[in-house]
């Protein structure tokens, strides 16, 4: 029999009105303990808060509401909230604009336009990349909901630019249905295809050359699978325009694993290429559909091919397939394979040749719709290389010979390669920590790199700052890069407030990125730093493998070393150090506060994973097994149990003050992690706030107004904990 949760919200708010400062003592509702014993490989573990996992339980929702009210009362009472909100709003709602997700089709440029104060980016079409003033709105999700919670997940125009396929989802769920629009009129055609996009495996569409049909990813519908399996078992179907979706034909995927993540692309000649990743652990298969309509498997997991891209047929030759291989090349090499004849004869991996051997830097590889790290132009190949955090674009001819490259930032990130349809001319994006993002056009013939007016000037200026790249020494001696934004002339006397962040997972590269809202911290004297820790792919496959599965502890050791470096180098002290991370970086935050409770003053953790032993029970948690492991494997269980934050909270320990943030609709990390970790920390006497957003998810598709309020809460929390006496800044600086 369940114990009723009786604390009313009104009573709680009344009690909190006179509550002391956040770090003076907890004023949180008590959480009932209902012990459940789980046994893993003979190890008995008692879970007192397993009941908080069930979001369908009204008592769990009431508990969450009470925690939200407690957090809300405390956050709203922090010093200078009004002034901080004014500054954050000024920056995030500044009348700027930017364009992303570019596609050329039918002689026009399609793009997603972000223009505050609009809540969501919207789809536009323009005459040319240097004429953003010619942009016309095609699909505006801001008109589809009153609260700005409908979002465009992605879009794909037809090759002739006459139609565009758009995935729309709501409330940060990332669960999208496909809608078709006529470009000339902006009219929706009414051919809605359900369950094309999901928050677990993503989704994709690829048009056939004549734009009369397309391939798309499809999740189970109706009674095809049990309810608990509706977010798995992706397959590829084909839709012919003007026909009912019920008559769409199956193409491939029944043999794929439950946790398949699928992307499909097509070539102008009519080939189709499917990339299938087994969960999130970096194991791939590739399948080619030849002109006779048959599918052929090109690669298998053991081949270590992590990306495949269809090239361009030159002078009637067979279409090339470019492959990024990690086989005996942990930093990546590029292979070239002929797609062969109409029936695929000769399209076998054993016939592939090494076009560009492994370099000292890492050949970047990406998975997902519209990746822009590799582009095959008429007579050139554009590739993105990872330099341990920073990245750059390099150019080669079709034989693999290096050619001159476009101008780029010295320590920045570059990518987003887009073909213009004009021989070897390409567009690319570039940014740094203190240089706002911009789009550039590179003319390979003249060698000119031209900045395009696709992004308006940023609303803030970082000219008083500099970026330095230093190195921390991890527990096992590994050298870990730490990228630091600091005011010019900063004295290294250990007195400065500091925020350091990191991620370390899935082979994801943490590249230099520009954030206008980061200026709110910098202008108040905060030193900001980001560590390129293991688990990412900044130094190739080995860097990733040293931080996943049973080696995950290296990730936490690397980040702890980065924090100590900031202290030992004279930037800050533990009393003025904050750490922040999200998702897999939220797991990092949980491990840091339980393994090194005295290292930082406070912790901000977004949509994090904390109970490693039950993470695989949620849909996206199953996709994570190749990265984290499974409790079904004895060694993997032992490794996960050894660092699982939820299982290492110890009563009587003086923990840093913690702010957990989560979204009720999160499809990637079940919010139950934040609920259980909050209850566990509070029971141990820690000061821990849980902020749950009712109309957002993992962060993707979150409305601008919600992002502003979240930023205000985080900044006010950080300033209060780090001893920053907020001083308003003149408007426009």
- Long-range own/partner contacts, residues 214-218 (CB < 8 A, 24 or more apart): 214/156, 214/158, 214/165, 214/238, 214/239, 215/251, 215/264, 215/266, 215/272, 216/165, 216/178, 216/264, 217/262, 217/263, 217/264, 218/193, 218/248
Confidence check: pLDDT of 19 > 80: no
Compute the Cα dihedral for 517, 518, 521, 525 and give only its sign. negative
Q: Are 628 and 612 in contact (CB under 8 A)?
A: yes
**Main-chain dihedrals φ then ψ at residue 320, nearest 5 degrees:** -80, 150
Q: Are 668 and 607 in contact (CB under 8 A)?
A: yes
Q: Which of 334-348, 368-382, 700-714 has the lowest mean pLDDT?
A: 334-348
| Short-list 196, 193, 212, CA closest to 204 | 196
Distance, in Å, from the CA atom of 348 to the CA atom of 363, rounded to the nearest integer, reads 23
pLDDT, tens digit, for every residue of 54-86? 999 999 999 999 999 999 999 999 999 999 999
Confidence check: pLDDT of 12 > 80: no
Residue 14 has a pLDDT of: 34
Residue 424 has a pLDDT of: 87
223: Cβ contacts below 8 Å, ≥ 6 apart: none
pLDDT, tens digit, for every residue of 167-216? 999 988 889 999 999 999 999 999 999 999 998 789 999 999 999 999 99
Percent of the chain with pLDDT over 90: 83
pLDDT, tens digit, for every residue of 482-503? 999 999 999 999 999 999 999 9
Residue 285 has a pLDDT of: 97
Q: Are 365 and 508 in contact (CB under 8 A)?
A: no
Q: Say how many C-beta atoms besides its own lie within 10 A of residue 243's C-beta.
A: 12
**Main-chain dihedrals φ then ψ at residue 401, nearest 5 degrees:** -80, 130
Q: What is the DSSP string of 533-553?
A: -BTBSTT-HHHHHTTSGGGTH
Compute the Cα dihedral for 591, 593, 596, 600 and give only its sign. positive
Residue 732 has a pLDDT of: 53
Between β-strands 498-501 and 527-531, what pairing exists: parallel, antiparallel or unpaired?
parallel
Region 622-645 average pLDDT: 96
Region 222-243 average pLDDT: 94
Residue 697 has a pLDDT of: 75
Residue 23 has a pLDDT of: 54
**Main-chain dihedrals φ then ψ at residue 375, nearest 5 degrees:** -140, 125
Residues 351, 352, 354: CA angle, nearest 5 degrees = 140
Confidence check: pLDDT of 703 > 90: no
Return mean pLDDT, the chain.
92
pLDDT, tens digit, for every residue of 424-472? 889 999 999 999 999 999 999 899 999 999 998 899 999 999 999 999 9
Q: Classify 247 as helix, strand or coil.
A: helix
- With cut-offs at 50, 70 and 90, classify the pLDDT of residue 560: very high
Confidence check: pLDDT of 246 > 70: yes
Tokens 């692309």 found at: 265
Q: Are 561 and 532 in contact (CB under 8 A)?
A: no
438: Cβ contacts below 8 Å, ≥ 6 apart: 429, 430, 431, 451, 452, 454, 455
Distance, in Å, from the CA atom of 600 to the CA atom of 366, rounded to the nearest integer, reads 34
Residue 24 has a pLDDT of: 47
Q: What is the DSSP string of 73-94?
A: HHHHTSTTHHHHHHHHHHHHT-
Residue 11 has a pLDDT of: 34
Region 552-559 average pLDDT: 98
Task: Return the DSSP state at 248.
Answer: P
pLDDT, tens digit, for every residue of 585-632? 999 999 999 999 999 999 999 999 999 999 999 878 898 999 999 999
| Residue 309 backbone class (left: φ over 0; alpha: ψ -120 to 50; beta: rest) | beta
Side-chain half-sphere CA neighbours of 10 within 13 A: 0
Confidence check: pLDDT of 111 > 60: yes
Residue 250, judged by CB atoms within 10 A of its CB (0-12, 13-18, 19+), counts as exposed
Region 30-53 average pLDDT: 97
Q: Are 181 and 187 in contact (CB under 8 A)?
A: yes
Confidence check: pLDDT of 26 > 70: no
| Short-list 343, 337, 462, 363, CA closest to 415 | 363
- With cut-offs at 50, 70 and 90, classify the pLDDT of residue 1: very low
Residue 7 has a pLDDT of: 32
Distance, in Å, from the CA atom of 98 to the CA atom of 112, rounded to the nearest integer, reads 8
- With cut-offs at 50, 70 and 90, classify the pLDDT of residue 22: low
pLDDT, tens digit, for every residue of 669-694? 889 999 999 999 999 999 999 999 87
Distance, in Å, from the CA atom of 164 to the CA atom of 103, rounded to the nearest integer, reads 11
294: Cβ contacts below 8 Å, ≥ 6 apart: 343, 344
Distance, in Å, from the CA atom of 264 to the CA atom of 268, rounded to the nearest integer, reads 14
């Amino acid at each position: 029999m369940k114990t009723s949760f009786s604390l009313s919200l009104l009573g709680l708010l009344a009690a909190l009105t006179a509550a002391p400062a956040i770090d003076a003592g907890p004023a949180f509702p008590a959480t009932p303990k209902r012990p459940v014993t789980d046994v893993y490989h003979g190890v008995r573990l008692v879970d007192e808060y397993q009941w908080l996992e069930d979001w369908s339980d009204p008592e769990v929702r009431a508990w969450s509401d009470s925690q939200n009210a407690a957090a809300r009362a405390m956050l709203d009472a922090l010093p200078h909230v009004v002034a901080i909100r004014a500054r954050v709003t000024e920056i995030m709602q500044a009348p700027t604009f930017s364009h992303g997700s570019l596609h050329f089709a039918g002689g026009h440029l399609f793009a997603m336009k972000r223009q505050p104060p609009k809540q969501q980016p919207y789809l536009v079409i323009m005459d040319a990349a240097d004429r953003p003033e010619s942009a016309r709105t095609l699909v505006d999700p801001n008109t589809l909901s009153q609260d700005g919670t409908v979002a465009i997940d992605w879009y794909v125009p037809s090759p002739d630019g006459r139609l565009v396929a758009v995935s729309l989802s709501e409330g940060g769920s990332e669960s999208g249905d496909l809608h078709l629009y006529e470009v000339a009129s902006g009219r929706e055609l009414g051919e809605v295809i359900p369950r094309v996009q999901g928050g677990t495996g993503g989704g994709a569409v690829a048009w056939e050359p004549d734009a009369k049909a397309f391939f798309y990813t499809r999740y189970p519908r109706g009674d095809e699978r049990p309810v608990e399996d509706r977010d798995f078992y992706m397959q590829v179907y084909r839709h012919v325009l003007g026909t009912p979706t019920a008559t769409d034909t199956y193409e491939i995927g029944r043999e794929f694993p439950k946790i398949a993540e699928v992307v499909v692309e097509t070539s102008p000649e009519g080939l189709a290429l499917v990339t299938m990743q087994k969960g999130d652990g970096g194991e791939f298969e590739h399948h080619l559909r030849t002109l006779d309509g048959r599918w052929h498997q090109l690669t298998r997991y053991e081949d270590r091919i992590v990306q495949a891209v269809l090239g361009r047929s030159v002078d009637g030759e067979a279409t090339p397939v470019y492959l990024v291989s990690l086989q005996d090349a942990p930093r990546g090499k590029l292979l070239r394979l002929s797609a062969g004849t109409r029936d695929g004869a000769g399209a076998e991996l054993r016939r592939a040749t090494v076009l560009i051997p492994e370099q000292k830097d890492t050949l970047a590889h990406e998975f997902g719709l519209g990746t822009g790290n590799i582009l095959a132009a008429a007579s050139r190949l554009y590739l993105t290389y990872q330099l341990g955090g920073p990245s750059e674009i390099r150019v080669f001819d079709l034989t693999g010979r290096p050619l001159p490259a476009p101008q780029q930032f010295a320590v920045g990130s570059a990518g987003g390669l887009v073909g213009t349809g004009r021989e070897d001319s390409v567009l690319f994006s570039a940014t740094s920590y203190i240089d706002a993002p911009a789009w550039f056009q590179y003319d390979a013939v003249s060698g000119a790199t031209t900045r395009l007016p696709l992004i308006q000037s940023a609303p803030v200026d970082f000219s008083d700052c500099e970026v330095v790249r230093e190195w921390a020494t991890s527990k096992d001696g590994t050298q870990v890069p730490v990228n630091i934004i600091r005011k010019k002339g900063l004295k290294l006397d250990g007195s400065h407030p500091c925020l350091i962040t990191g991620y370390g997972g899935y082979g994801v590269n943490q590249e230099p990125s520009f954030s206008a809202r980061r200026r709110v911290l910098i202008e108040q004297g905060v030193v900001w730093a980001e560590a390129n820790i293991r688990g990412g792919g900044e130094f190739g496959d080995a860097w990733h493998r040293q931080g996943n599965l049973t080696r995950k502890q290296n990730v936490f050791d690397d980040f702890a070393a980065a924090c100590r470096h900031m202290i030992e180098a004279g930037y800050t002290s533990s009393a003025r150090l904050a750490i922040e991370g999200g998702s897999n970086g939220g797991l990092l935050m949980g491990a840091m506060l339980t393994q090194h409770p005295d290292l930082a003053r406070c912790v901000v953790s977004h949509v994090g994973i904390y109970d490693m032993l039950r993470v695989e029970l949620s849909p996206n948690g199953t996709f994570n097994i190749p990265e984290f492991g499974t409790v079904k494997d004895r060694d993997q269980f032992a490794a996960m149990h050894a660092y699982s934050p939820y299982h290492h909270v110890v009563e009587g320990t003086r923990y840093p003050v913690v702010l957990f943030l989560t979204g009720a609709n999160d499809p990637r990390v079940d919010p139950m992690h934040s609920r259980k970790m909050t209850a566990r920390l509070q029971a141990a006497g820690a000061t821990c706030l849980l902020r749950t957003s009712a109309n957002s998810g993992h962060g993707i598709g979150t409305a601008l107004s919600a992002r502003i309020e979240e930023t205000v809460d985080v900044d006010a929390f950080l300033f209060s904990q780090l001893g920053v006496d907020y001083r308003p800044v003149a408007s426009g600086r």
